[in-house]
A and B are shown apart, each in its own frame.
Chain A
Amino acid sequence: MSIVTIRNVEFLNNPARFLDPYHFRVTFECIAPLPEDLEWRLIYVSSPGNEELDQELDDCLVGPVPVGVNSFEFEGSPPSPDKIPPEDVLGVAALILTGSYKDQEFVRVGYYQNTEYDNEEMNEAQPEPIRFDRLVRDINTKPRVTRFQIKWDVSPQRPGQAVSAGAATSAAVPSANDIDMEDAIDTNGTSS
């Protein structure tokens, strides 16, 4: 059971130029108070075959995290061009966002990023050396999520800390027979 569940990840500047910082917002739900900070990392994977070439773009801490739905914004520097093998610059690369608690990774979200020139001529001619200033990136917003079981180590609740006051405070549950599909679909779906 994960205490933290990502509700949404939004890229606030996408598409963008290759050398622009990554700017995005993570919204997550936390169902128990966490005494320590959550750590989030953004990693750029240029060459899937070689882990050594991964670049950590940002590493930030968020906390203390209250119970409920939380969001934070996060800015990661662009990958350093000289650390990317020239043959891996164009085309598809991966962007990985990881969430950790107490040095244990509990979620890993992967995105595909496509990189190309901002004009057709360069895409066809492929200048040597690579003109990084003319590159643009586009992140496919469909996330690929892997969750990991970790030890959250939450201390047992103390009496009197109860969050609920009985089901009376909960919403009434209407009959499912009256639910209509049109009401429900795509009222909220913006992610894909």
Chain B
Amino acid sequence: MKFTKPAWVMHNDSAMRGEQSKRLSIFSVHVHPDGSRIATGGLDAKVRIWSTKPILNEASEKSGRPPKSLCTLAMHTGPVLVVRWAHSGRWLASGSDDEIVMIWDLDPMARGRVWGSDEVNVEGWKPLKRLPGHESDVTDIAWSPGDRYLATVGLDSQVLIWCGFTLERLHKIDQHQGFVKGVCWDPVGEFLATGSDDRSVRIWRTTDWTLEAEVRKPFEHSPGTFFRRLSWSPDGAHITASNATNNEGYVFIAAVISRSTWTSEISLVGHENTVEVAAYNPHVFLRDPSQPVVAANICSVVALGADDRAVSVWQTKSARPLIVAKEVFERQIMDLSWSQDGLTLYAVSSDGTLAVFSFDTDELEGIAPQSAQEQYLKKFGFVTPPLPTGFSHQGQQNSRMTPPPSPGRTQQTQNDFDATVNGMGGEQINKLVAKRKTKKRIQPTLMPSSVPSAAVPSASNAPSSFAGTAASGASARSFGEVPALPPPPSARPPSSHSHAVSPFGAAAGFGDEDVEMFPYDMDMEVRISSLDTSTQASGAKGKRRAAEMNDGLVSAKPRTLGGDRVRESVQVKEIAAGVAGGGLSLYSGEPSLMSRLPVPSLLTYLKATIEGSEDVFEGRNPESEGVVEVLFASGGKQTQWLDYLPSPILAVAATPVFCAVAMQDGSVNVYSHTGRRMMPTLSIGSACSALSASRHFLMLLSCTGLLYVWNVKKQCSAFPPVSVSAILGSSPNCTIISSSVRPNGAPVIQLSNGVAHSYDTSLASWVKLTEVWWAEGSDAWQGRQRATQFASRGVLSALESSINEHTPPVDGAEKVRPTWWNAAMTLGHLEARLHAAKVLDSPQEYKQTLLLYAKKIADEGFRAKAEELVKELFGPVYWRPGRDESWSPATLGMSKRDLLKDVLAVFARSKTLTKLALDWQDMLKRAANGE
């Protein structure tokens, strides 16, 4: 066997040129019946046709004869998911994300440079017919034997049958309950088989298109896959179906389903992940080539491609595969195709490459000629329905693929003859006459009253502004930026094609359609023609139709964005290491901060759990190609909603009120729990270093050192953005250990130098919450206590123990300290902590500290401090509720005079302050009695 991977077979991002062009996923490959060309379909929305000789023959590859790329067909507006040549070789069918099936026909005149691109088509193919009918992505297509029928399947759960001659739609099968992702015909012509996400393979009779059988057992546990391409053996005896499992979903297999019993007794076991595609070699094989072609002597060869990135080839007489090709691709296999001679197998992958396996006849033991199959199939005695009269696939001289002598030269002369018309040779062109558009049509003179006045353009005098705004709608205007493909809407990731790569990109379905292009919502704007009375009727009709369409969308069950999607767990991997301080000098931040505010690593999966519930808010970054998305899952299981983002996710945060996501490009989205944007997308301008949320508040620390806190409920900032450079200082070794926001909106920033800060809005200044300094002398330092005692642990004690962990205080025991050291340090520490408890809104800690403080003052006998504290808590002597607004009777929701009671109780027990306590206790009593 020979193996080759031609690097030049690729679907690339046409926005890029040459070296930079990026390989895009290839979803489908099919060999032309004459073996000389293949068609591929890709994420770039193009069908490409390549010659095979340069793939199979090195000399041909080097000489450039025949040319490698034969044709590029760019008429689809969505990724091309399937390409299939008709058996006659004259037509090519393609199916796309854009819901359309196209039939292409050779057009010797349509060669040459493709208008609007750099491509040259050396072989011309023209659109013969457009087959609309599917209401979602078309995933698979199959031509029946003799091209009698064409079957197409898609994510609209439908199977459509078209006449292979007239290309009319004959029948619609809508019995599948899930996306249909694979279709194949019985070589006898009696049946059609389809594979669906409803976990069934169904077999339909071609005589009346009714259900023959439904096979469910092998698929009971089958996971979601991009495709479920299946294949029917050339002897008609078996269907090999992809995406089956054994052992309750733990073993990934392909299921071999027997004709007539429609049960699966045989499994092809070995792939380490879901099998995506099965493809039978078109030849029958003989177990003993010397024996006649009878059922008992026939076996077949089938190839499998799987999500484990391997291709295997099996001969049904053996329990082991003939070959297994691992590590051939970097991503899952999307399609397989055998050449008609049965000797070459083509495989394509979502990694954007094509691989080719060429076999020698002796490697494929027992291969029988095509005639053996034809002969054998006759025994079934099935007679295909008569052809529509007057139709045929056979050419007049019965010469199917006769090469005309020197095809190129003949056209040359024709082109000389009519050289002005680019790329069309002697083709017939209808000459049409352009009618000037009369401005009369848009005169708003007889305006119906129902038309909202805002929608009426000042058309009579400003036609150009009307053209720019009303009709061209949302289109990208700036010409300088007009790319070859439609510009992505803002909600799309920068790699504009990446969405369909993950198996769920297509399974989600809606995402592709909604984001892909620019659907024009007819209901959004009043059609201009409806302003004219003469066309009013049709305008109104258009509006009504739009309304009906919308009604149709409202299903009985409330829908959510992405709610029907299977939730798949993602392995957390680092895609890109964090950058030490988004350190570009372009950022306006201070250079000294750069290396100290790292941007988090880019991970494949980020999660924030909503406090007090099982709900999670997740962010997913694709590893190479794919979409950036956030999703909200209730109970950690059911996806409630999702959103796609234009830039990779750096951080997520969630509270019982909102969810927030910070992106690499410096923008921040804030969603409610139903997925609505609660604020406009914030544009910070630089990547975030930290993101934190608590109740209504969201805090972001940018890598340029600016700290933002927003109140999401009020939609305002808690304070103007403030730089952390003031607290970080200039020492390069001082870094931020943690940063978070409190439910009251106060930020808490702990530094590696052992100081924790918050920003006090009323003081317009950073304030120290606590610092390791106090550890050197304060009795109240949290670190002195054992870690296990933190039963009722508040934010400040947590901070202090964290500081202890990160910045172990210098052991002061050996140092000689001044006399008042301990008292001053303890009181200072407790006073600082009282302020901190206020800033952080921690009433329990405030009260606890206040009592400790009272005890310390009492122990030391500092009467002046004690008296001032008492007065502060008592307030104006004659204060009564409602009397003097300048003094606040409460702090942190606790009555100051109630706190005073507790403080006085501490003083009363002391030796030095008993008298003071008794006097003020008396005062309190009198104040309470209103004296």
Contact = CB atoms under 8 A, between A and B. Distances in A.
Given A1-B76, A103-B471, A182-B408, A9 B166 contact: no
B395 A3 contact: no
Given A94-B479, A164-B129, A61 B429 contact: no
Contact of A173 (B32, B419, B468): B32
B435 A61 contact: yes
A119 interface: no
B36 interface: yes
Given A1-B99, A182-B408, A41 B467 contact: yes
A9 B100 contact: no
Interface in B392-409: 392-396, 399-404, 406-409
Interface of A: 1-3, 5-10, 27, 29, 31-32, 37, 39-41, 43, 45, 48, 51-52, 54-56, 58-63, 65-66, 68-74, 94, 96, 98, 100, 103-105, 108-110, 143-151, 154, 156-157, 159, 161-168, 170-192
Interface in B122-141: 122-123, 126-130, 132-133
Nearest to A55: B464
B411 A187 contact: yes
A43 B120 contact: no
B518 A149 contact: yes
Contacts of A45: 479
B75 interface: yes
B452 interface: no
Q: Main SS of chain B's interface residues?
A: loop
Contacts of A104: 473, 520
A72 B433 CA distance: 6
B415 interface: yes
B210 interface: no
Nearest to B438: A61
A149 B90 contact: no
Contacts of B168: 157, 159, 161-162
Given A62-B432, A167-B393, A188-B415, A173 B90 contact: yes
Contact of B482 (A39, A60, A144, A180): A144
B847 interface: no
A71 B430 contact: yes
B436 A188 contact: no
Interface string B89-110: 1110000101110110111100
B91 A183 contact: no
A96 to B, nearest CB: 6
Contacts of B122: 179, 181, 183-185
Contacts of B112: 184, 186-189
Measured as residues with beta carbon below 8 angstroms from the partner, the interface class of chain B is: 35 or more
Nearest to A163: B129
A1 to B, nearest CB: 4
B707 to A, nearest CB: 35
A191 B114 CA distance: 9
B472 interface: yes
Given A162-B166, A183-B408, A149 B77 contact: yes
B337 interface: no
B428 A69 contact: yes
Interface of B: 32, 34, 36-37, 51-53, 64-67, 70, 75-78, 86, 88-91, 96, 98-100, 102-103, 105-108, 111-113, 115-117, 120-123, 126-130, 132-133, 147, 163-169, 387, 390-396, 399-404, 406-409, 411-412, 415, 419-425, 427-437, 463-465, 467-468, 471-473, 475-480, 482-487, 516-520, 522, 527-529
Contacts of A103: 471, 520, 527-529
A150 B520 contact: yes
B482 A170 contact: no
5 contacts: A8-B424, A41-B467, A61-B436, A104-B473, A189-B112
Given A109-B116, A183-B407, A191 B422 contact: yes
Contacts of B409: 183
B515 to A, nearest CB: 11
B106 A149 contact: no
A68 B109 CA distance: 13
A176 B399 contact: no
A133 B311 CA distance: 70
**A-B pairs with lowest CB-CB distance, top 6:** A183-B408, A188-B112, A149-B517, A184-B122, A189-B113, A174-B403
Contact of B434 (A73, A166, A171): A73
Given A1-B99, A177-B51, A180-B65, A6 B473 contact: no
Contacts, number: 332
Nearest to A159: B168
Nearest to B131: A157
B464 A190 contact: no
Given A145-B116, A179-B123, A184-B67, A56 B404 contact: no
Contacts of A180: 65-66, 408
B390 to A, nearest CB: 7
B392 A168 contact: yes
Given A171-B106, A179-B407, A184-B120, A1 B96 contact: yes
Contacts of B91: 167, 170
Given A149-B98, A167-B88, A191-B113, A72 B128 contact: no
Given A68-B430, A163-B129, A187 B403 contact: no
Nearest to A175: B36
A143 B66 CA distance: 29
Given A94-B480, A100-B472, A151-B522, 14 more contacts: A31-B129, A71-B430, A71-B431, A94-B479, A103-B471, A105-B475, A148-B486, A149-B519, A156-B169, A166-B166, A176-B52, A179-B66, A183-B122, A190-B422
A96 B471 CA distance: 14
B479 A59 contact: no
Contacts of B75: 1-2, 5, 31
Nearest to A44: B464
B434 to A, nearest CB: 4
A168 B484 contact: no
B482 to A, nearest CB: 5
A70 B427 CA distance: 10
A143 B116 contact: yes
A10 B429 CA distance: 15
A60 to B, nearest CB: 4
A148 B163 CA distance: 30
B432 A71 contact: yes
A59 B437 contact: yes
A151 B430 contact: no
A38 to B, nearest CB: 9
Contacts of A179: 51, 66-67, 70, 122-123, 407-408
A147 B516 CA distance: 12
Given A65-B432, A172-B401, A188-B112, A54 B37 contact: no
Contacts of A189: 112-113, 120, 422-423
Contact of A191 (B36, B115, B132, B393): B115
A134 B214 CA distance: 79
B391 A187 contact: no
Nearest to A6: B115
A79 B421 CA distance: 28
A76 to B, nearest CB: 10
B129 to A, nearest CB: 6
A21 B97 CA distance: 42
With most chain A CB atoms within 10 A of its CB, the pick from B128, B130, B487 is B130
Given A60-B436, A179-B70, A181-B67, A174 B404 contact: yes
A172 B105 contact: no
B36 A176 contact: yes
A47 to B, nearest CB: 11
A9 B401 CA distance: 35
With most chain A CB atoms within 10 A of its CB, the pick from B37, B116, B427, B428 is B116
Contacts of A3: 130
Nearest to B107: A171
Contacts of A96: 479
Nearest to B86: A167
A188 B430 contact: no
